[in-house]
Structure 1
Amino acid sequence: MFEVKNLKYKDILYIDHLNINKNSVTCIVGESGSGKTTLLKMLNNIISPDEGEIYFNRKEINQYNPIDLRRRVVMLPQTPIIYKGSILDNILIGKKFSKSEIYDIKEIENLLEKFNVNKNLNEPAENLSGGEKQRVCLIRVLIMNPEVILLDEPTSALDENTEDLVINYVVEYVKKNNKTLIMVTHSKEIAKKYSDHIIEITKRR
């Protein structure tokens, strides 16, 4: 699905060749500052390499319209972005971006329950805790129904039990619906437990 060739970005990231498979779970691990998030942003065409090429479905990524690409390849940053309005408003922002006004309120309520966000959908989203905001943003991504989900430390604000619950559900969702998940995680345990492939990035000395 993704192929990276001869990539160089500043003094942060050097990749000779990398393939990321379709319909699989890939975890990116490595120490802080090694370029994990940088790679994720490049797969979403948020930033471009100084040298090298990135291909998505055998087409050079810069040949895609960036907005169209980001409807198919959706990235959730580590710091959740919450807008003014209710929890439901925040979740549906993703549907509006993907140009789909159709949603299933029961599906959204089910996701809130599965992710242990015990809140009414009409409550202000700004009142949520950090971990709850993270989970609401993850629900926003899931109901967009993208081909590829890019997650940057999606459970950094969660305790260990909740982290396991959330990742387990997301991985099940990805496999059931033939999606592709690429996730940056600080936890090698999570990577070993859930990923089909692990990419370890080392910091250049």
Structure 2
Amino acid sequence: MAGAWYLGIMFFELGFFSPGNSILRYVGIWYKFDSEAVVWVANRNKPISGRNGVLRIEADGKLVVRDGNNSLVWSSNVSGSSNDTAAKLLDNGNFALSRDDSIGDTSRDLWQSFDEPTDTFLPGMRVPVSTKIGEYQPYRSWKSPDDPSPGNYSLGVDPNGGQQIVMWDLNKRRRRWRSGQWNRQFFTASPL
């Protein structure tokens, strides 16, 4: 199922989940009417092994995930003040940490999940380009349906070869697919 649409707004949920047959727990965002379609994972490299965990804003304003032993498993790495900081899952699937007076204004967010994508591109996201390192690879596949840790495939923009999207096979260290050049309307190698 591709997701649920209602009056042009896509609905998402945020919470703890265990993918596939895994007993490990992660914090993620998924389509409200298709919990199997996870679009973002916070602690994809450090799962929680027990049933206890918490997602919260700490005293220093950081958004964190802690396990049942109160050990840090993920952090937004952005400081603020917990007195005036709020987190909100927006209608477009973006999870944002903001000051109370600017919640919903993504230009003023302290942190947002759209700036740290995992494996899914959602409408409203930007594909970052870094000319310093050449090919930028922000989207990484899951290792398996039971394990959202970074897998063997990556997707990003290739600024050195023109504006095109490229998929890499990281095991073989080669390009697996490319979209063709962007001509300001569509990618030239992609079917319409």
The alignment's TM-score, normalised by the length of structure 1, stands at: 0.29
Larger radius of gyration: 2
Which protein is richer in strand relative to its size? 2
Structure number with the bigger relative contact order (C-alpha 8 A, sep ≥ 6) is: 1
Which protein is richer in helix relative to its size? 1
The alignment's TM-score, normalised by the length of structure 2, stands at: 0.30
